[in-house]
Structure 1
């Protein structure tokens, strides 16, 4: 684990007055409110118990276009088949930060989350809230790789060149936005230095192609569909995270690892690109039923090949990752640590 340096970063907070927003954000907020209302109903159902004595359990995933949702749906189906006492559903959510908050609020039982979201919530809280001391890692997932994209001919050869540019940092409040803030800070920049754009992965790809954006930061497994979309059309390049900026990032935040994007992973990128990576996790509360944890980890241990048919990233799941969790493990997960 990298040592911490004197470089510090402010706790993650959403920009209270973003310079640019995606069209339809108000509609998205309304949808989010509806999802939360549905979650409350599900929560009451879980307390009362489902049909034939089954309890309802929900898994917070992400948007339908990412990896979280299809993988979460497959896990929910397998958990429902394996656990005669429970019925599981996968919910569309805003991603890591929302999942962590809803897990802690008791609105969902399990949530997909980036290491950054779990770590910051556990140690520092999110949006000024109290530290989530009851948050626990339930299972390791696959690694996300930080992709930095820039428009060809923009003169951007490093994150340090982002000053004054239009930069997408991901959807507001997402794990990618948390990552983007820290990447910028490692290169001596903040939101005050760039024109912040809160775009999804696919929106970022389209904006780069159309010349409406200079650069984008995406935290995602590779090969990523949005990055393929952007680079296949040409006019978009991968930018390395290396040198003093990467060193500062690794030393300041223990959930990052040295990463690379292999040569040939994307059109026009024939040589390896240096970057950083971060693992994804399934998180839950410390009081989550041991039965659920046992079933889930057994599935991840024994059914990875089947899960890989749903999404190739599932093939990278390794329970050995439990030993490198960024926050404490659920007590039932400790029995699944290889060699533990």
Structure 2
């Protein structure tokens, strides 16, 4: 069961770091390295900023690491594949699809590697309190927020809908951010929203605490379909009492967020990352309590190959 923001100075440094990262220089000898996060209002940015700050302090080569404001999980992997980013925060589903070149018109990103796990994203399926919908199968013809275009939630929404036999042609699609989805549910401009996010989630809390929303479970046979067809999904629970009005466990699916890079990321950088998420995890927890959910055991079921340094860590610590 799954139980801060940085100032303008960091954003300015991020812009400088991006300029250096985009030059196409060889990894070795680089002065600046970038970490793709997301918008400043989510979890990725403060977490990535803390990791970047610590990596800069630890780096014996004098490299400076910066947290980049980006469009999120999907865009980060694309930037990584184009060589415009050095490290990316992203979802297991996004990593898997990029590695295998699942999306039409994309080349397999076979150089993509997992560095370390972060925290799980839980799939929240929300409808207004007075909705008659009892399941995703009832969403046909409804206005459904599937997440912002380019964000990690959007492809997850596609997979959830597909498991229930629905496609975008069967619903009225709305591409909204988490906060926009919460507002739209409250003012009645959407009929449902799918939000894949770490637990607890501010957007979900906003809807539930005002009594405007209701969470729908994923039940059999759709649960089995999702977890068997997509190896990066696993069973999860939003526990009773997690949000106002949740009086019993809500069964759903989840997937891990990961730190990713190309295989040529210098070994010493990867070793420092592993030290941060294991021995120095308290630093991350002070920035966002969700870092308490980091579980190195997740590396046993990573959706794509591990970086050689990470693989060596697993061989030593998780035999």
TM (norm. structure 2) is 0.91
1:58 aligns with 2:59: no
**Residue 58 of structure 2 is aligned with which of 82, 90, 93?**
82
Match of 1:69 in 2: 45
| Superposed counterparts of 1:192-203, under 5 Å | 192-203=169-180
Question: Shift of the alpha carbon at 1:63?
Answer: 1.3
1:253 aligns with 2:226: no
Question: Shift of the alpha carbon at 1:323?
Answer: 1.6
**Residue 19 of structure 2 is aligned with which of 21, 33, 41?**
41
Match of 2:6 in 1: none
Match of 1:272 in 2: 249
| Aligned mates of 2:191, 2:22 — CA distance in 1 | 46
| Superposed counterparts of 1:277-292, under 5 Å | 277-292=254-269
1:186 aligns with 2:168: no
| Aligned mates of 2:272, 2:84 — CA distance in 1 | 20
1:306 aligns with 2:283: yes
**Residue 121 of structure 1 is aligned with which of 98, 101, 104?**
98
Question: Shift of the alpha carbon at 1:46?
Answer: 7.7
1:108-142 residue CA offsets vs partner (Å, 9 max, x unmatched): 11000100000011112445211111111111111
Q: Which runs of 4+ in 1 moved over 4 A?
A: 36-40
Match of 1:221 in 2: 198
Unaligned runs of 5+ in 1: 1-35
Question: Shift of the alpha carbon at 1:39?
Answer: 6.8
CA contact (8 A) 2:24 2:84 kept: no
1:226-279 residue CA offsets vs partner (Å, 9 max, x unmatched): 000011111210000111111111111000000100011111112110000101
CA contact (8 A) 1:103 1:285 kept: yes
CA contact (8 A) 1:164 1:193 kept: yes
Match of 1:339 in 2: 318
Aligned length: 303
Question: Shift of the alpha carbon at 1:339?
Answer: 2.6
CA contact (8 A) 2:17 2:65 kept: no
Q: 1:74 to 1:204 in 2, by over 3 A?
A: same
RMSD value, Cα: 1.9
Match of 2:84 in 1: 107
Match of 1:297 in 2: 274
Match of 1:143 in 2: 120
Question: Shift of the alpha carbon at 1:292?
Answer: 0.8
| Aligned mates of 2:20, 2:147 — CA distance in 1 | 29
Match of 1:9 in 2: none
Question: Shift of the alpha carbon at 1:38?
Answer: 6.7
Secondary structure at 1:243 match in 2: coil
1:155 aligns with 2:137: no
CA contact (8 A) 1:46 1:56 kept: no
TM (norm. structure 1) is 0.85
1:328 aligns with 2:305: yes
Match of 2:9 in 1: none
| Aligned mates of 2:151, 2:84 — CA distance in 1 | 18
Secondary structure at 2:221 match in 1: helix
Q: 1:263 to 1:49 in 2, by over 3 A?
A: closer
Unaligned runs of 5+ in 2: 1-13
Secondary structure at 1:309 match in 2: helix
**Residue 295 of structure 2 is aligned with which of 318, 327, 335?**
318
